[in-house]
Amino acid sequence: MENKNKPAVQTAKNPVKSFFSVLNAKRRKISLSLTMMLTTMMLTAASAFADGEDASSEAEGMFDNVVGFFADWIGRVGLVVAFVGATMFGFSIKSDDPEGKQRGLTTMVAGFIVFAVTKSLNLFGIHTSAI
């Protein structure tokens, strides 16, 4: 009696060669993709120059004004957060809740830190007239 059943999975004749051929195909695909991406980026590059000193200082002034506006409002929100933290701290003193005291002080300090950062924009090189 002969075994005429064929195995479901046929094994490769040389597993090392098949491994390297698969690896070579993946390497070629990756290198082609990278080459195409680099070529596309190089072809679509564009240089932009400002008209002169007036245009750059005007844009800088507009940027500083926008940042000053947002910093002003973020500082106000920081003060509101500090006020909420102080209120939480006051209520936790009344109820003698140690976890509430810590949460209130943490919230209050976080609000003051946000306010201080918005008032110290000169350290980051942003000079606004509103601040």
* pLDDT tens sequence across 90-114: 999 888 888 989 999 999 999 999 9
- Is 128 within 8 Å of 121 (Cβ atoms)? yes
Tell me the average pLDDT across 105-128. 87
Same domain, 19 and 76: no
Question: How much of the chain exceeds pLDDT 70, in percent?
Answer: 78
DSSP string covering 21-66, please?
A: HHHHHHHHHHHHHHHHHHHHHHHT------S-HHHHHHHHHHHHHH
Q: Could you tell me if 57 and 116 lie in one domain?
A: yes
Over 70: is that where the pLDDT of 42 sits? Answer: yes
Residue 22 belongs to domain spanning: 12-44
Of residues 24 and 33, more confidently modeled: 33
pLDDT category, 131, cuts 50, 70, 90? very low
Which residues lie below 8 Å from residue 76, measured CB to CB, with a gap of 6+?
none
On whether both 67 and 98 belong to a single domain, the answer is yes
Q: Per the domain annotation, does 106 fall within a domain?
A: yes
Mean pLDDT for the stretch of residues 19-25? 76
